[in-house]
Amino acid sequence: MADLHPHLPVGVPLRDNRFLQALLFAYAVCWGILAIAPVSRETWLLENLLVFGLIGLLAATHRRFVFSNLSYALIFAFLALHAVGAHYTYSAVPAGHWLQEAFGFTRNPYDRAVHFAFGLLLGYPLRELTLRVAHVHGAWSFVVPVLAILGLSSSYEIIESWAARIADPELGISFVGAQGDIWDGQKDMTLALVGALVALTAGAWRRRQSGHEPYVGPES
């Protein structure tokens, strides 16, 4: 089914978008604080390379395509979670240790939570991109974001493995964060898939209730 409101304007450019300006400021403060004295500067740098690439891509394409405030908020939430993991290294995040002790997990689950959040928080922005740029509708507008999440998640696992091989052993182990689990990569990708399915199901439900895509909101 095509978008019920295909001609409604969505996405306000940065210069006129106070919400996006506040979001950028909040992320800059968060990132700046967490950039101070990370547990491992080398691991922090490796973890942030893809962040630099993503933010650079968003900035470079901003004149041609502006996400909705909803999608920018979801992207911000994921980057904030990642910034925490980069500061402490994923296997040593204090919140993860608390969860490990509280629920009796055998490992720090913070990296698992962030992989789930990858699908949960970025699945809908990818759907918005699919609808507004690729003009893909119907069932494929849900399939394409899911495939994109799987592709991006598997690509990240490949990058992790090569970084571990190229870097010194201690840095590689810290960056990968497998914590002794030989199926770590497969579990991470599965959680990203589940997160994307949850996000897209919630988006479809919201669309059915409101009659339009969730990104068509008050900011439009």
Residue 1 within any structural domain of the chain: no
The residue segments making up the domain with residue 52 are: 14-210
185/204 Cα distance (integer angstroms) = 29
Over residues 118-129, mean pLDDT: 97
Residue 4 lies in a domain: no
In a domain, 5, yes or no: no
Q: Is the pLDDT at 125 greater than 70, yes or no?
A: yes
Residue 164 placed within a domain: yes
Q: How much of the chain is helix, strand and coil, in % rounded to 5? A: 70, 0, 30
Residue 144: both structure tokens together: 């394409």
Query: Across residues 9-31, what is the average pLDDT?
Result: 91
Question: Coil, helix or strand for 219?
Answer: coil
The number of distinct structural domains making up the chain is 1
- Residue range 95-122: average pLDDT? 92
d(CA 85, CA 63): 31
Angle between helices 140-166 and 110-132 (to 10 degrees): 130
Report if residue 7 sits inside a domain: no
The model's pTM is: 0.86
pLDDT at 51 exceeding the cut of 80: yes
Whether residue 81 contacts residue 61, with contact meaning beta carbons closer than 8 Å, is answered with no
Does residue 103 carry a pLDDT above 80?
Answer: yes
pLDDT tens for each residue of 135-186: 999 999 999 999 999 999 988 877 776 766 665 555 555 555 545 566 677 8
Query: How many residues make up the chain in this entry?
Result: 220
Residue corresponding to tokens 């604080």: 33
**What is the predicted pLDDT for the residue at 1?**
36
DSSP one-letter string for 32-101: HHHTSS-S-HHHHHHHHHHHHHHHHHHHHTTTT----HHHHHHHHHHHHHHHHHHHH-GGG-HHHHHHHH
